[in-house]
Structure 1
Amino acid sequence: MNFKVTKVSSGVVKPAEPTPNPTLRLAWVDRYPTHRGLVESMHMYHAATNPAKVIRDALAKALVFFYPLAGHIVEPIPGEPAIECSAKGVYFVEAKANCSLEDAKYLERPLLIPKEELVPCPGSKEWEVEPHNTAIMMQVTTFACGGFVMGLRTNHAVADGMGAAQFIQAVGDMARGLAKPLVMPVWDREKFPDPKIKPNPLPELPILALDYAIIDFPIDYINKSKSQYMECTGKFCSTFDILTAKLWQCRTRALNLQPESTVKLSFFASVRHLLKLDKGYYGNSIFPVKLTAPSKKVLSSTLLEVVNFIQEAKKIMQLEFLDFAKEKIETDPFQMTFNYESVYVSDWSKIGFVDVDYGFEKPMLCSPLVNNDFIASVVILKAPPPLVGARLLASCVTKEHSMEFVSGMKIMD
C-alpha cells in the first residue's frame, strides 16, 4: 500500500482574546545555543470526532493564557534572544492519511510514513517566521480508522519537556470545556540563575552511523530490580535509575573497549525543586548530570552498584547547580562531549505528555521523532498499551555493536 498524507488545511491559530504584547527576556538556560531548535514529537490517539477542529479551537483558548507561545523569538541584543509577544499565532495543519493506524503499524519504527509528513513543515509563503524563531507548531493527522496523531514541534528555547507538556495539557483542559488551565502558567524566567558564564561554542558533531532499536521492559522486571535495590541499600531508586544503569553496562560491554578507556553517561535533571519554582513555570529548568568512569569499573560493578553511581551523580549535580547559581564556577557546565564513548539519556515517561486528554481519552503513545547520526542517545518512554512497563528508543551503537547491545539489554533475569 502506498501510504499518503494529504494536507487538508493550514493556517495560523491566534489567541481567542486580546493578549499583552511585551518583549520577554528568556532565562540563561533558555538562551543556551543548543536549545534554539525545534523538538519534534508525535502523540497518537484512538478514534475521535473531528479532532482537528476540537484541538484548533482549544489551542486558541489556551494561547490566551500562554500568550508568549503565540509570539516569536527575536534578538534585540545579539546573543540575547527574547520572546516578542506579537500574537502572530501558532502555525496549524489539518491533514488526512489514506490508511489506518493499524496499516501503518501504529507508526512503530521504522516509520512507514516519513516523519516530515506527520509534523508541520511550512513553506516561507505559509509562515513568515523562521523555524528556529518559532515557539510552537502543530499538525493533526486523522487516519482512516478515525484515530489521529498530533504532530508537535516546540522550540526548546521557550520550554523544556515538562513545560511543553504543561502547555499541551492546557490545550486539553480547554478542549474538555474548562474555563482556564488546571495549572496556570507563570513566566518567572528571572528566577532561574543568570550567571555571567558564556556558553562555549558548539562542538563539531561526529558522524556515527547509529543503529536503531526498540526495547521493552515489563513492569515485573522493573519492580523486581527496585525491590532488590531497596533490600540491599534501604533506599528507593527510580525506573530511570534501573534502566539507565542497565543501558550503560550493556552499551559499555558491546563497545568492547580497553579496560582503562573512559566512558561517559549524561542526562538532564529538573532543578525546579531546588529553585522552588511555581508549578506553572514552563521554561527550561534543567541542569546536566555527568558520569565518567573507566570501562572496567562499569563492567565489573553489579547493576545495583551502577544505580548507586547514578544516584551519587544526581547529588553532586545539586551541589554543582548551587555553585552555578552563586557564580562560584567559571566554566560552562552545559558543555558536552560528543564522541562514541559518550551516551545521552532522556526520560519522556513522566514529563506529562501521556496525561493529555482532549476529551478523547489519553494517548496510546507519545514519542519524540528523532533521527540523528551525531549523538549516541536513548529515550525512555512509558510502554504503549497493552504493554505495562517502559520502552527504550535506542540510537546509541553502530551496526557493528548492535547485536551485542540489544541481546544484553534483553537479558532480564
Structure 2
Amino acid sequence: MAASFKVTRISEGAVKPAAATPEDTLPLAWVDRYPTHRGLVESMHIFRSGAEAAPGVIRDALAKALVFFYPLAGRIVEPEAGSPAIRCTADGVYFAEATADCNLEDVRFLERPLLLPKEDLVPYPGDDRWGVEPHNTIMMMQITKFTCGGFVMGLRFNHASADGMGAAQFINAVGDMARGLPEPRVKPVWDREKFPNPNIKPGPLPELPVLALDYIVLDFPTGYIDGLKAQYKAHSGKFCSGFDVLTAKLWQCRTRALNLEPGATVKLCFFASVRHLLKLDRGYYGNSIFPVKMSAPSEKVLGSSLMEVVDMIRQAKDRMAVEFFQFAKEETEQDPFQMTFNYESIYVSDWSKLGFAEVDYGFGPPMFAGPLVNNDFIASVVILKAPLPLDGTRMLASCVTREHSEEFVRGMKEDLP
C-alpha cells in the first residue's frame, strides 16, 4: 500500500545563517560528548494547514534563527580522539522541500504503521548532495507538502548538540522568526562549561540484542490520568505527575505480561533534566540530562499496588539529585550513563513537555509532534502529547514481543473508560 503514494523532492541544499556569525570552535560538555549521543534523532511534525507558504517561510526563518543559534550551522569535529567539538563554519543545515501526491487522510495522518516510508519524510541525502557524515551533521530538515494543504516537517537533529528540550527551543525560535519576531523569545546560551566535567570515562558500548518487538500505540485521556493522580494524592498526601502514574502502570503491566521466572530482576530507566540542579540559564540548549534508574525483583513490582510502584519511581527521582552530584564531584568511578539492554529492562522517554507541540510558524501548532523510532534492540516507550483533536497522552511502545503483546495491551487498557 505504501508504494501507491509518491513523495518527490523538488529542492534541497544548505540554509546558512542570514547574517555573519562568529568563527569559533566550541568545546562540548561531558554529556554532549557521550558516544551514544553522537547521532541524528529523527522526528515528525504534522501540520493541518500552511503547505504552500511553509517551505519558504520556514527556510527564511531558519536562516534568521541560525544567526542566534550559530553553532548549529557548523559541523562536529574531533580535534583529538574522544573530544568532539563544534566548529562554527556557518556552512548551514540541510533543507529539502518535497511534495506528496496524496492528502494526509489518505495516509491516515501518518499513524503507525506508516503508509509512506519514513525515508520519504525525513531527509537522507546521498554523499553527492550532502558531503558531511551523519555523525558530524548537526541538523537536517525536510518540508513535505500534501494535497490537502497540510505539511509534515521531518527533522534529524544531532543529540551531541542539544537534548530534546534544547532542540525544541531552537525549533520554537524558528517559529518566532517565522511569525515576524525580531529575535527568539528565549535567547540561546552556550555555557557548556557549566555542566560537570568529571574525569569519568564512558563505559564500553553495550551489546544490543535482537528482540523483534511489536509496535503498540496507546492513548490515555486527561481525565483518566487526573484520576490516577488523585488516587496517589489520597495514598500518599503528595502530588505526582502524569508521567509518574503512566510509567508505573507501564512497568507493572509489562512485568506481568513477561511472566518471568521467580527471582528475575526487572529494570526501568528514564532521563531527567538537571537544569534546576545546575541553575542553568533558561536559554541553555545543550544536553542537561541524567539517568534515573530503578531495579527490583519482578515479584515486588507485581506484588505492590500501582500507587506503591509510583512511590518507587518518585523515590528514584529523589535519589537522582544525590547521584548526580556524586557524579559531578567524582565521588563515583562508575559511568552512570552506561546502560544494559536486555528484555528485562525498559527505557522510557518523555516528549510531552519538551515544547515541540507548541511550535507555531504562523499556521498554528502541529496536530502531532514526536519521534520516529521503531527498533528491535531496545525495549522502549515514548510518552508524548496525544495528536489533535485527542485530549491526553499517547504512548508509543516498542517494549514487548508478539507473544507478550496481547497480555500487555489488556493490562494497559483494563481500567480505561
2:294 matched residue in structure 1: 291
Equivalent residue runs for 1:14-413 within 5 Å: 14-48=16-50, 49-412=52-415
Alignment partners' CA distance in 2, 1:295 and 1:259: 7
What is the deviation of 1:27?
Answer: 0.2
Identity %: 72
Partner of 1:164, secondary structure, is helix
Partner of 1:268, secondary structure, is strand
What is the deviation of 1:387?
Answer: 1.2
Any gaps of 5 or more consecutive residues in structure 1? none
Q: Pick which of 47-56 and 301-310 moved more.
A: 47-56
CA contact (8 A) 2:381 2:398 kept: yes
Alignment partners' CA distance in 2, 1:201 and 1:3: 43
What is the deviation of 1:234?
Answer: 1.1
What is the deviation of 1:47?
Answer: 1.3
1:6 matched residue in structure 2: 8
AA matched with 2:159: H
Alignment partners' CA distance in 2, 1:371 and 1:248: 19
AA matched with 1:231: A
What is the deviation of 1:18?
Answer: 0.3
What is the deviation of 1:31?
Answer: 0.3
Any gaps of 5 or more consecutive residues in structure 2? none
Alignment partners' CA distance in 1, 2:119 and 2:135: 16
Alignment partners' CA distance in 2, 1:4 and 1:200: 44
Q: Pick which of 267-276 and 230-239 moved more.
A: 230-239
Alignment partners' CA distance in 2, 1:300 and 1:64: 55
What is the deviation of 1:125?
Answer: 1.2
AA matched with 2:173: A
Q: Deviations over 1:84-106 (max 9, x none)?
A: 00011000000000000000000
Alignment partners' CA distance in 1, 2:318 and 2:222: 27
Alignment partners' CA distance in 2, 1:72 and 1:322: 31
What is the deviation of 1:411?
Answer: 1.3
Alignment partners' CA distance in 2, 1:122 and 1:340: 34
Alignment partners' CA distance in 1, 2:168 and 2:408: 32
What is the deviation of 1:367?
Answer: 1.3
Alignment RMSD, CA only? 0.7
What is the deviation of 1:332?
Answer: 0.4
Partner of 1:77, secondary structure, is coil
Alignment partners' CA distance in 1, 2:210 and 2:241: 33
Alignment partners' CA distance in 1, 2:76 and 2:96: 21
What is the deviation of 1:50?
Answer: 1.5
CA contact (8 A) 2:215 2:374 kept: no
What is the deviation of 1:259?
Answer: 2.7
Alignment partners' CA distance in 1, 2:388 and 2:168: 20
Alignment partners' CA distance in 1, 2:109 and 2:301: 36
AA matched with 2:179: R
Partner of 1:208, secondary structure, is coil
Number of aligned residue pairs? 413
Partner of 1:359, secondary structure, is coil
Alignment partners' CA distance in 2, 1:204 and 1:338: 7
What is the deviation of 1:310?
Answer: 0.2
Q: Pick which of 45-54 and 295-304 moved more.
A: 45-54
Alignment partners' CA distance in 1, 2:293 and 2:207: 20
Q: Deviations over 1:192-218 (max 9, x none)?
A: 000000001101100000011000011
